[in-house]
Chain A
Amino acid sequence: MGGHHGNNDKNGERNMLKISGIWLGAVGVLGLALAAPSEGWAKDQVRLAYIGPLTGPLSSVGIGARNSIELAVRQRNADPDATYEYVLEAFDDECKADVGLRVATRAAADDGIVVGFPHYCSAVAIGAVGTYNRFELPVVLWGAVLPDITYGNDYKEIHRVNGTMINQNEHAANFVVDQGYQTWAIIHDTTDYGRAHNEYFSRFLTEAGGEIVGTFGVTADQQDFSSELAQIASLRPDVLYFGGQAQLGVRIRAQMERLGVTAQFQGTSGILSDAYLEGLPPALSEGTLAFLEGAPVDQLPGGAAFVAAYQEAGFGEPFEAYGPFAYSAASLAIDLIEEVGPDRIALRDALNGVSGYDSAIGEITFDESGQNTVAVISTYVVQDGQWTVWEDSDYASGLRSLRQPN
């Protein structure tokens, strides 16, 4: 019996040793495999969030921005040297404050999301920045221009690559005064966005020596502007300034002729969109002025590469005015994640230290409020149904002229 037991014990030990050996070997191979990076091995996924309009009247700008961020993600995923695989999740804020707050909370509360690229509409952004701060989600804005989004708080999570309407309106006021105009009527929508445009433009215009003969607040969904335009016709301003988005700009510009308003039409970055060109016959859109932060994208080395890559990617929609900003925001964040890892706090701190980053929109340097110190503002004019950089236009060369002052 004892010998039988002894044999069994030896066999059992041998088996245990065999199994242990196999286990150790398997674990060792697995460990080696994990330790040695290989091209065929799946990378860790890092989730990013686009938060902006994908439906509603301003969706064309939002979709262009979403595509541009997607382009940055695809380019990085195609790079074999990238440490992580990036996944973009898109949240539709519809350019509505309540919807925006809801989706901002959803994105910020999701621990898997490392960084957000939110908001075209200032009214949405200003309501959501507190949420990003509360959940410690670093975000890089690409479109909303209300100054208070970065300057009205001390949230370390909020960064913005595009300029504010302060820079834009200062440049716009000086530019139009230099054209020899003297009197302005202003129509602005009564959202935070439109009100702030009115405030800054009025301030800089007055400082530059221009005279405002009338200011009219309109609702953002107003269809008929007969009463405003009839009053403006009797005030006979040299220029009609519009502070609002493209959809409203189209309606106002289309109704100006009928009500006998012959003033030069001047908008903001809000109308710098294909939607404005599509909504008007070329004869009416011709000569409209608008202003955008940053140098013209195709005149920067990185910008030209972005335009080429976007066209090659085969997106069905144009990248619109803020696509290059969205692309630059995403490229910047992804570069920093590669450096500091997919950690919200580390990324936030890295973003706050960004200085002289070379991007598709030029150098990005964040000031202490997270605001990119954009020095250049570009002037655009509609020429033959296309937004054209002022310096490249027939208007600058003198072949065509804007509406003459009264």
Chain B
Amino acid sequence: MDIAFVSQIVVSGLILAVIYALVAVGFTLFVGVFNVLNFSHGDVLMFGAFAGFTAFLPLAGLGVTSPFLQLVLVTIASVTCTIALGLIVARFFILPLKGAPLLNTLLITLMLATVIREGVRLFYPRGSNPKSFPALLPTDFVSIGAINVRVDTIMLIFAGLAIIVATGALIERTRFGLAIRAVAQDEETARCMGVNYRLVVLGAFALGSGLAACAAMINGLYYNEVNYSMGLMLAIIGFCSAIIGGLGNIAGAILGAFIFAGLQIVGSLFMPFSSAYSDVFAFAVILVLIALKPTGLIGERVSERV
């Protein structure tokens, strides 16, 4: 098999893994602190992509022509809007359902996802059409041996990995992270120890939504296209990744994301002329993995509580 071809597929797989991981960490955070399967997460991500795209439109007219400055402003707009939407979802639709059956919150978040998705499609100007997301990073190619990769692809992979590492550090080494872990492990005891439960839940939703915005930015900058339905598949894959690793476990979610992207690569490489089935292959293997390890590869925090 051609090394250039294999390396190209691997690089693309790494980008996918980073995007999936950022989405999966959000899912696992929500389960960890509130025991909720938030299926609006993918469409919150899509909202972030559209927020970034919209923020870009007037920049040239306002005299902001530096790609770096444009990137910073677009990212700030995307992250801010996504966190705001994530907080609205958490405050008004998820927190009030504390104690409600899991099925109710699941339905609420599924309906929210539809409202956000259809809202963008109907009310964003010509929202059903795909939008051309700007290329704000260098588009030159670099050659490393037989491998020929675009600079922005490498930058996006490293940026994504840096965000994942920073999130891990935030959870493991800060007081906020400690509070999240405490609530995830035992909500009642955490409350008794003085942890502001509502604030921690809202903080976790803000963090998860912020990570979704980062995934949206990487997705937009890599594919140079955003569309109103982009969140649907990302939510399914992100959720699957979180499940494989073990719901409620951040390292597990990241591992799950890399496994899913790896399966897609394997599917593409070994089914070269029927790559339409690479997703079928990946999901089929996930089914087997879940059947073999129902609580995830690393172990599920929810199960630890029981």
Quick check: B132 and A226 within 8 Å, CB to CB? no
Quick check: B5 and A231 within 8 Å, CB to CB? yes
Quick check: B8 and A275 within 8 Å, CB to CB? no
Quick check: A217 and B223 within 8 Å, CB to CB? no
Quick check: B128 and A60 within 8 Å, CB to CB? yes
For B229, give its contact among A221, A250, A255 (CB under 8 Å).
A221
| Chain B: interface size category | 35 or more
Minimal beta-carbon separation of A262 from chain B (angstroms): 12
Q: Specify which chain B residues have a CB less than 8 angstroms from the CB of A228 in the assembled complex.
A: 275
Quick check: A279 and B225 within 8 Å, CB to CB? yes
**A257 and B152 alpha carbons, distance in the complex (Å):** 12
Q: Specify which chain A residues have a CB less than 8 angstroms from the CB of B118 in the assembled complex.
A: 55
B268: Cβ under 8 A from any A Cβ:
yes
For A60, give its contact among B9, B129, B224 (CB under 8 Å).
B129
A7: Cβ under 8 A from any B Cβ:
no
Quick check: B5 and A223 within 8 Å, CB to CB? no
Minimal beta-carbon separation of A164 from chain B (angstroms): 25
B279: Cβ under 8 A from any A Cβ:
yes
Q: A230: nearest residue on chain B (CB-CB)?
A: B8
B171: Cβ under 8 A from any A Cβ:
no
Quick check: A278 and B223 within 8 Å, CB to CB? no
Q: Specify which chain A residues have a CB less than 8 angstroms from the CB of B229 in the assembled complex.
A: 57, 221
Minimal beta-carbon separation of A121 from chain B (angstroms): 14
**Contact string against A for B residues 217-256, beta-carbon threshold 8 Å, 1 for contact and 0 otherwise:** 0000011110111100100000000000000000000000
B130: Cβ under 8 A from any A Cβ:
yes
Quick check: B269 and A278 within 8 Å, CB to CB? no
Tell me how many residues of A have a C-beta within 8 Å of chain B.
40
B91: Cβ under 8 A from any A Cβ:
no
For B233, give its contact among A55, A217, A221 (CB under 8 Å).
A221
Quick check: A251 and B275 within 8 Å, CB to CB? no
Q: Specify which chain B residues have a CB less than 8 angstroms from the CB of A274 in the assembled complex.
A: 126, 129
A258: Cβ under 8 A from any B Cβ:
yes
Contacting B at CB under 8 A, from A187-236, are: 190, 214-219, 221-224, 226-228, 230-231, 233-234
- Chain A residues packing against B (C-beta within 8 Å): 55-60, 190, 214-219, 221-224, 226-228, 230-231, 233-234, 246-247, 250-251, 254-255, 257-260, 274-275, 278-281
- Chain B residues packing against A (C-beta within 8 Å): 2, 4-5, 8-9, 12-13, 16, 118, 121, 126, 128-132, 134-135, 139, 141, 148, 150, 153, 222-225, 227-230, 233, 264-265, 268-269, 272-276, 278-279
* Extra pairs beyond A247-B227, A275-B130, A281-B132 (14, CB < 8 Å): A60-B128, A216-B273, A218-B275, A223-B230, A223-B233, A224-B16, A227-B269, A250-B130, A251-B130, A257-B139, A258-B150, A260-B141, A260-B148, A279-B225
When A and B form their complex, which 10 residue pairs have the shortest distance between CB atoms, in order from nearest? A227-B268, A226-B12, A279-B130, A230-B8, A275-B129, A217-B276, A278-B129, A250-B130, A59-B128, A254-B224
